[in-house]
Each structure stands twice: as structure tokens, then as C-alpha cells.
Amino acid sequence: MKQPRVHRMTKGGTLYKWHRVTRAPLPTDIPEDHPDFIAAWNAEEAKKAPDRSRATKGTIGAAWEGLKATAAFRGYSAVYRAQVVRHGDAIATLYGKAPMADLRDYHIRKDLEKLDAHPAIARLKTWRLICAHAREANMTRIVATDGVTKPKAAPVQKRAPWDEREVARYRAKWAIGTPQRLCFELLYWTGARTNDAVRLTPSMVSSDGLLRFRQSKTGHDALVPWTSALPAWAEWMEADRKILHQCLAEVRGFTFLEVNGRVRSFKGLSNLISRAAEDAKIIGKTAHGLRATRLTLIAESGGPAHAIMTWGGHKTLSEAEGYTREADRRKVLLGTEQKRNPVNRSVNQK
């Protein structure tokens, strides 16, 4: 991923980068989607002279341009900001020349009717941001979204965890040394989302043996045991961790999963896991399902909700408690003597 307004030049075999507007140098030893690079880039973005807006003053387009220039907008996570930009640009293209003061709730409803439920929900969030900014900027006396309710949508189905047989089947198909196996084991152990997994680097492992990374989606830190001792309830997971380190033994890139010196795309990673699973005759399981698998294993092994919250990087305890509640329900049905031994999940480890 390349950030806008970054000038890049290679001289004498060395790559130089700087902000096109402020002319300030930017880090060259990390990818442009790395949190440290984004932080440096955002700092220069905040200094740059505001762009000359092509939108006419008082229009919806001008409100959108004004929103993008705010510090609050720059503070959004990269994932959320991309979503807002996608819908904001669409709004500006369709309705940018219309007066902001004339916008009403029925105009917004008409726009939402063109979209399926989930995209319509995302579009409404962007409309609300634009309208709130316009009101604060005295471009309108009303907030048109106040009369608009969120479209009803079917709940997003949770990505199904992989079971131990599927894990074994995948490992049997893809040997250590293949990119399919490396990508699988990193996702399986860390429980990271794909957009975070592609950014993981050895430098994120602290002296206490924990892998710590800031999540793109939530901005919250996740901590994963990397070389540190595992708690008693997780000691059986040591086999999984050893497999991951075997896969990483020959990796020499800046990030764990880079390809030919370039950061692997998170969509490419997701597609790779899906295709590799299908080749291993595993149907309907995804990269995100591996995140659910690790957090489910923690719960089934007796790990507390706080452990799930820390490992998975959840912002609230209630998010993590869902895994422990599901594990408790299984215990009620299976009984203490019959409940699954989690050690059996790490099978076929060659």
C-alpha cells in the first residue's frame, strides 16, 4: 500500500521518501502501511496547507471536503477511514453540487434505497459524519440524518472456527516450507486479522517475549505469547507455537509474510488461505475463521475472558466473554469427563 503525497526516489541504491507538500523526510525502512509510517505521514498531513477545494462553498461537496480536513477524520483507523472515503467520494460525485442547507432526511433515504442493507448502513454512517460537520461549520441549521433510521440487515454470520480434523488436513496438504503453511500457522497462532497479520514483524516482539501490535480495525493493542512462558491452561498449545517457529526459521524479510521484498496484501492473504483450504478439501473455512479458532481454543482450555481479550485485542470484556460463554455451554452438554481434550487439536504437526 502506498500513501498519497509521498515522493519516492532511489539514488545510489538507497530509497528516499519525503512528503510532497511539507518536504519532510519519511521513514524508509518500514512499509507505508506500517503504523509508524502512517503516524509520521499523518503528522505531515496535519501541517500541509489545505487543498484548494473544487467544491462550491455551501455545497454537500464542500462539507465533505471540510470533513476530510478535520483532525477527527485523520484520527480514524486506516480501515474505517477507507470506508468513509469510499462512501464520501460517492456522495460527492452524485450530490456534491447540491446546497448543504437544502439537504433533508428524505434525500438521504432515497440514496440509501439504492444500496443493499450492509453498504447502506456504512453509507448512512458517512452521511451522519458529513451532516454533523456541516452543522458545526454553520453550513446548515439542521442535521438531515436525525430523521433517518439505520436500515435493517441480516446479522453478519460469524466466521466458523476450524476443527481439529480440518487443521490436521490442512497441515497434511501443505508442508512446512510452503507459503500456504507459513501463512496458516501465523494466523492460527496469533489470531490476528489478515490486515494486521501482513504487517507483523520481528521488531514487534518485546524483550518480555510478547508479540505486541496495534490493530488496524480498532486501534487497540493485541499481545500474543511469542517466546514467553505460556500460562498453565495454555501449556498444551506449545506444540502449535513450535510449528510456527519452524515455519519462520528460514524467513528473512522485514515482515513475516512479505513476498519478494514487498508486504503481502491482506486480500491476497485471505484468498491464499481460502484456495489452500479448498485444495485440502476443506470447505467453507476462511482466514478469519482461524482467529475464531484460536480464541475458541483459549476459552475451551479454561483461559479467562481477560486472556481472550488480551490475545485477541478486544476493546471490551463483553466481546471476549462470548467465547467463554460458548465454551461453558459445551461443558454443560459434554460433561467434565467427556469434554474434548484440547491437546488432541494439535495433531498431524509435521
Q: What is the pLDDT of residues 170-190, one digit of tens each?
A: 999 999 999 999 999 999 999
Residue 197 pLDDT: 96
Q: Is the pLDDT of residue 82 over 50?
A: yes
**Distances from the Cα of 67 to the Cαs of 4, 50, 85, 89, 341, in angstroms?**
18, 12, 10, 12, 53
Q: What is the mean pLDDT of the chain?
A: 87
Predicted local confidence at residue 21, as pLDDT: 82
339-347: average pLDDT: 45
Contact call for residues 244 and 222 (beta carbons, < 8 A): no
Instruction: Examine the pLDDT at 344 and tell me if it is beyond 50.
Output: no
Residue-wise pLDDT for 120-148, tens only, equals 999 999 999 999 999 999 999 999 999 89
**Better-scored residue on pLDDT, 208 or 12:** 208
pLDDT of the residue at 23:
80
Q: Rounded to whole angstroms, how far apart are CA atoms 171 and 350?
A: 7
Domains and CATH numbers, the chain: 6-147 (1.10.150), 164-345 (1.10.443.10)
Question: Among 73-87, 124-138, 158-172, 276-290, where is mean pLDDT lowest?
Answer: 73-87
Query: What is the predicted pLDDT for the residue at 7?
Result: 86
What is the C-alpha to C-alpha distance for residues 72 and 174, in angstroms, rounded to an integer?
Answer: 45
pLDDT at residue 215 greater than cutoff 60: yes
Tell me the pLDDT tens digit for each residue of 4-54. Answer: 888 888 877 788 888 888 888 888 888 888 878 888 878 888 776 544 457
Task: State residue 343's pLDDT score.
Answer: 42
For the residues 155-159, what does the mean pLDDT come to?
62
| Residue-level pLDDT at 211 | 97
Confidence of residue 334 (pLDDT cuts 50, 70, 90): low
SS (H, E, C) the chain: CCCCCEEEEEECCEEEEEECCCCCECCCCCCCCCHHHHHHHHHHHHHCCCCCCCCCCCEHHHHHHHHHCCHHHHCCCHHHHHHHHHHHHHHHHHHCCCEHHHCCHHHHHHHHCCCCHHHHHHHHHHHHHHHHHHHHCCCCCCCHHHHCCCCCCCCCCCCCCCCHHHHHHHHHHCCECEHHHHHHHHHHHHCCCHHHHCCCCHHHECCCCEEEEECCCCCCEEEEECCCCCCHHHHHHHHHHHHHHHHHCCCCCCCCCCECCECCCHHHHHHHHHHHHHHCCCCCCCHHHHHHHHHHHHHHCCCCHHHHHHHHCCCCHHHHHHHHHHHHHHHHHHCCCCCCCHHHHCCCCC
Question: How many whole angstroms separate alpha carbon 254 and alpha carbon 257?
Answer: 9
**Overall average pLDDT of the 60-71 stretch:** 96
Tell me which of 46 and 265 has the higher pLDDT. Answer: 265
Q: Is the pLDDT of residue 260 over 90?
A: no
